[in-house]
Amino acid sequence: MCGIAGVAGTPDTNEETKRMLAALGHRGPDACGTYEAEGLSIGNTLLKITGDMPQPLIGKGALVLNGEIFNFRELAAEQGIKTDSDTEVFFALIEKKIKEGETPINAIFSVLFRVNGDYALAYALDNELVLARDTVGVKPLYYSLEKGKEKPKITFASEKKAFSNQINQIKSFPPGRVMAFDIRNGRLEKKSLTIEPPQERISEEHEAASRLKTALEKAVEMRLTKTAGIAFSGGIDSTFLAALSKSIDPSISLYAVGLPDSHDLTQAQRAAEAAGMSDSLKTHLLYPEEIEDAIPDVIYSTESTDPMKIAIGLPLYFVAKTAKEDRKRVLITGQGADELFGGYSRHEGFLEQGLEVLDREIYSDLQKISTINLERDDMVTMANSVELRVPFLDKEVIKTGLAISPELKVLKRDGLYTRKYILRKAADGLLPSELLWKEKKAIQYGTGVQKVLDKLARNAGFSKKEGNHIEKYLEQVATDHEFDFILR
């Protein structure tokens, strides 16, 4: 995990790349490196988790990678490569394709088809720069394309704050996109790795639950490290992940935050006890003053004053901070379970419109999860130099989840709805019944953070009756801290 940045198409690119990397130092406190060629520069700030391979990797071309290739050992064994670095394996596969005569974009596109991982990357070869991002968008990537007087220029980075004066031109690099930029003429070539609709449907309940559990077990196992912890709220998503992790690593730690006597803290303590993991749970009590002090950091890290982003980002920011203080470098979360298995109340309404509607909306939720949730979550965890990992968005879990028939996701019996039904059935036998069927509040309400934001906004003089009082308060905080790149 790390931060990446680079510039192509203008002279003196290396100084600009170094300046951008300085703004991304929190993403990679362990090392920083750049690669420079004529009219092109790419760089990386490194957070060591898998292996100890400095970046950029340089061979025929040069690579910087933000993320993790979880099936790298399998790929390495096929190629006879002995290494503990996922980046080294990925680079070797690309370079092999290049030597076989593939163009950079085709080489990377071909390798990515075989990869199970979360990534944003840049590969430079001769006059070409290739950018790519994983199909769900777990890892963030932004870019700016400028048509200058002499030559086009492209700039990219893991976060918007790394850019300088072209803030209005910054775009989120589309998930699943692979794009090649020719620095000589600005020509773009694009390919897409899409989330494919299922070719099969799994309608039998036992088969669906069994296949989902198997896929999720493998996804969790691939993501566990000695420095991993779990963001734990006591809901079905995080408790299922905790139970699966415990069977692999009995020493896994769980992290929960909330105001004293908040719903999430109480639920987390009860769930940990019921799952036999009380000794693994580590809690952090939040207080209004601490939340107020952290608001500027969360605005800065999320690059937003959107009330929903801040209200959800704050608890996860504190979970990551608590995990870091406990010397963890990886935080596993249940993000993606609601989108994939029908966990939102609006999914009940979609069910009433028909199974095809529910199926379509779940697929749409998955396509939009990056901009709505993942970019925010990555940035608040990486603000603490902690990597986010999301087993529910594993390639095989997504494939299995999309194949499961929608009637097994949102179940209606006797006028009552059970959301994420098949996920709960998959956890049956691993968790006690009291945890399987319990609903949980959204994190901003369950931790008590939403009430604190409401009170802070009112105390700052913004009237709730006039509307948007929290947003106005957050904008004022951003103004006071001169976060101009957010307010523009």
Using one digit for the tens of pLDDT, what is the confidence trace for 343-398?
A: 999 999 999 999 999 999 999 999 999 999 999 999 999 999 999 999 999 999 99
| pLDDT tens digits, 429-471 | 899 988 898 888 899 999 999 999 999 999 999 999 888 999 9
Instruction: Please check whether residue 192 is in contact with residue 179, taking contact to mean a CB–CB distance below 8 angstroms.
Output: no
What per-residue confidence (pLDDT) applies to 167? 61
Confidence of residue 185 (pLDDT cuts 50, 70, 90): confident
What per-residue confidence (pLDDT) applies to 164? 79
What per-residue confidence (pLDDT) applies to 441? 87
- Please give the Cα distance from 307 to 95 (Å, whole number): 45
- Amino acid letter for position 460: A
What per-residue confidence (pLDDT) applies to 49? 67
What per-residue confidence (pLDDT) applies to 11? 79
What per-residue confidence (pLDDT) applies to 46? 74
What per-residue confidence (pLDDT) applies to 434? 87
Confidence of residue 311 (pLDDT cuts 50, 70, 90): very high
Domain extents in the chain:
2-192, 205-480
pTM, full prediction? 0.93
- Amino acid letter for position 12: D
What per-residue confidence (pLDDT) applies to 165? 64
Low-confidence winner among 80-84, 189-193, 317-321, 477-481 (lowest mean pLDDT): 80-84
What per-residue confidence (pLDDT) applies to 484? 78
| pLDDT tens digits, 106-164 | 999 999 999 999 999 999 999 999 999 999 999 999 999 987 667 789 999 999 999 97
The larger pLDDT score, comparing residue 49 to residue 302, is at: 302
What per-residue confidence (pLDDT) applies to 13? 83
What per-residue confidence (pLDDT) applies to 487? 62
pLDDT at 53 over 80: no
CATH superfamily of 205-480: HUPs (3.40.50.620)
What per-residue confidence (pLDDT) applies to 30? 80
The larger pLDDT score, comparing residue 119 to residue 186, is at: 119
The per-residue b/e assignment along 384-403, b for 16 or more CB within 10 angstroms, e otherwise, is bbbbbbbbbbbbbbbbbbbb
What per-residue confidence (pLDDT) applies to 148? 66
What per-residue confidence (pLDDT) applies to 28? 82
pLDDT at 338 over 90: yes
What per-residue confidence (pLDDT) applies to 306? 96
Instruction: Please check whether residue 255 is in contact with residue 315, taking contact to mean a CB–CB distance below 8 angstroms.
Output: no
What per-residue confidence (pLDDT) applies to 466? 87
Residues 222-245: what's their mean pLDDT?
Answer: 96
Sign of the dihedral defined by the CA atoms of residues 270, 273, 277, 282, in that order:
positive
| pLDDT tens digits, 19-39 | 999 999 899 878 788 999 988
What per-residue confidence (pLDDT) applies to 1? 60
What per-residue confidence (pLDDT) applies to 166? 60
- Amino acid letter for position 36: E
User: Which phi and psi angles does 108 have, rounded to 5°?
Assistant: -65, -45
What per-residue confidence (pLDDT) applies to 226? 93
| Alpha carbon separation from 187 to 120, 151, 262 (Å, rounded) | 21, 11, 55
What per-residue confidence (pLDDT) applies to 31? 79
Residues of the chain above pLDDT 70, percent: 97
What per-residue confidence (pLDDT) applies to 195? 86
| pLDDT tens digits, 198-222 | 888 999 999 999 999 999 999 999 9
What per-residue confidence (pLDDT) applies to 147? 79
Confidence of residue 473 (pLDDT cuts 50, 70, 90): very high
Sign of the dihedral defined by the CA atoms of residues 43, 46, 51, 52, in that order:
positive
What per-residue confidence (pLDDT) applies to 52? 63
Average pLDDT, the chain: 93
* Residue whose token pair is 């396509």: 367
Strand partners, 335: none
- Which CATH number does 2-192 carry? 3.60.20.10
| Tokens matching residue 485 | 């790149």
Helix axes 205-223, 236-248, angle to 10 degrees: 60
Confidence of residue 10 (pLDDT cuts 50, 70, 90): confident
What is the full DSSP assignment across 220-288? HHHH--TTEEEE--SSHHHHHHHHHHHHH-TT-EEEEEESTT-HHHHHHHHHHHHTT-GGGEEEEE--H
